[in-house]
Amino acid sequence: MTANKKLLLLPGDGIGPEVMGEVRRVVAWLGTHRAVRFDVDERPVGGAAIDRDGVPVTDETLADAQAADAVLLGAVGGPKWENLDFEIRPEAGLLRLRKDLGLFANLRPAIVFPALADASTLKREVVEGLDIMIVRELTGGVYFGEPRGITEIGPGERQGVNTQVYTTTEIRRIAAAAFDLARKRQGRVCSVEKANVMESGRLWREEVIRLHGEAYGDVDLSHMYADNCAMQLVRNPKQFDVIVTDNLFGDMLSDEAAMLTGSLGMLPSASLGARQESGRLPALYEPVHGSAPDIAGQGIANPIAALMSFGMMLRYSFDLAAEADLLEGAVHAVLDAGIRTGDIMSPGGTQVSTQAMGEAIVAEMEKAAT
Ligand code: IPM
Ligand code: MG
């Protein structure tokens, strides 16, 4: 008998706990109907952890995350914790998890569901059929570079410093992740930086070209400056297959790409590390949307991004492609039936709560499985 998979849930703040409740519903369904059993553990992170433990993530939670087969995070942050120092803000907990688990590759797919092509603020013909993957470097760059800080440099004069820094190794491993993914897709990678003004960007481009020449000649490689990429994403997003970029540009471009699909409430993500000798793949999955404090606690958040993140986990961490297909198919079916949370509501649709959306998706899974 194979051991149950160890799953650590970190619901976090705002709508995090609400959308995570719907993931639990699917986990329970899989346990009884598909004999896919998880040992589920749950811990606070972000603001919830600050309130309980005084830090956004405890060493204990980090150890649990290291020991789990996969981690699923809801969202962190909110106005309540906005004025804290950087080191103890909710976001610091997420950054520490990424860094300590070595999750350097952040995969953010932006897919337009046929039923939602009209929910985009862009014209239907621009986004219909869109399927791009942003591969964001997640443990380097200006988010982590030293020196950093705010210092007094004269009377009434302060200076804020952050450092953008990338090494050959960091660039090569994220580029390899992008090339490998492209091989399973349309075989095209667009590498994005600001090589025209930044040395780190110039090194990025040189190293990507070198790795491509050494090992990935079969993949079609192009390069784009980040500002141009931001523009091209709204002008003609379907020109892209895989976009690989650094931590900061990836943060911005992935929000932009997510919105092409109609709602941030739809987009999942996977953050992966290097596969260890034991075969273990460090992995954390999370919806791209944040904690959405404005709608938290009302039971109206869209749980689809969290559910699709769990779907990515089934696929990437557990090789459960059939179960992932079942879940994703159910999401499609529910959307085709016009069932909508408020963020993706359209004329003629039926607006439902977070919970009712989760129930409808599980009902579709049930239908498809019998
Ligand atoms: C994201 C978020 C995070 C980031 C924040 C919450 C630290 O915006 O995952 O995109 O900037 O990486
Ligand atoms: Mg972001």
Distance from Cα 3 to the centre of ligand 1, integer Å: 33
According to CATH, the topology of domain 114-269 is: Isopropylmalate Dehydrogenase (3.40.718)
Residue 76 has pLDDT above 60, yes or no: yes
Q: What CA–CA distances, in Å, run from 116 to 97, 113, 121, 132, 304?
A: 33, 5, 11, 16, 13
Question: What is the best residue among 45, 76, 86, 91 to mutate for testing ligand 1's pocket, by most ligand atoms within 8 Å of CB?
Answer: 91
- As to burial, measured by CB atoms within 10 angstroms (0-12 exposed, 13-18 middle, 19+ buried), residue 128 is middle
CA-closest residue to ligand 1 atom 6: 91
CA-closest residue to ligand 1 atom 5: 91
CB 94 within 8 A of CB 45: yes
Instruction: Supply the pLDDT for residue 2.
Output: 60
User: What distance in Å separates the CA atoms of residue 189 and residue 201, rounded to the nearest whole number?
Assistant: 16
Q: What CA–CA distances, in Å, run from 57 to 16, 52, 188?
A: 15, 10, 38
Active centre residues (catalytic): 143, 194, 227, 251, 255
Residue 33 has pLDDT above 70, yes or no: yes
User: Which residue in 115, 25, 123 sits closest to 350, CA to CA?
Assistant: 115
Rounded to 5, what percent of the chain is helix, strand, coil? 45, 20, 30
**In the chain, % of residues over pLDDT 90:** 89
- Could you tell me where in the chain the CATH 3.40.718.10 domains are found? 1-104+273-370, 114-269
Distance from Cα 245 to the centre of ligand 2, integer Å: 14
Ligand 1 site, CB within 6 A: 77, 91, 94-95, 251
Ligand number with the minimum distance to the CA of 247: 1
Instruction: Supply the pLDDT for residue 1.
Output: 46
Instruction: Tell me what the pLDDT averaged over the chain comes to.
Output: 95
Ligand 1 atom nearest residue 247's Cα:
12
* Residue 77 CA neighbour count, 13 Å, CB half: 13
Span 77-92, pLDDT tens digits: 999 999 998 888 999 9
CB 92 within 8 A of CB 27: no
Residue 350 has pLDDT above 50, yes or no: yes
Distance from Cα 269 to the centre of ligand 2, integer Å: 11
Over the Cα atoms of the chain, what is R_g? 20
CATH architecture, domain defined by 1-104+273-370 = 3-Layer(aba) Sandwich (3.40)
Span 90-135, pLDDT tens digits: 999 999 999 999 999 999 999 998 888 888 889 999 999 999 999 9
User: Which residue in 287, 356, 296, 307 sits closest to 18, CA to CA?
Assistant: 296
Span 244-297, pLDDT tens digits: 999 999 999 998 998 898 888 889 999 999 999 988 999 999 998 899 999 999
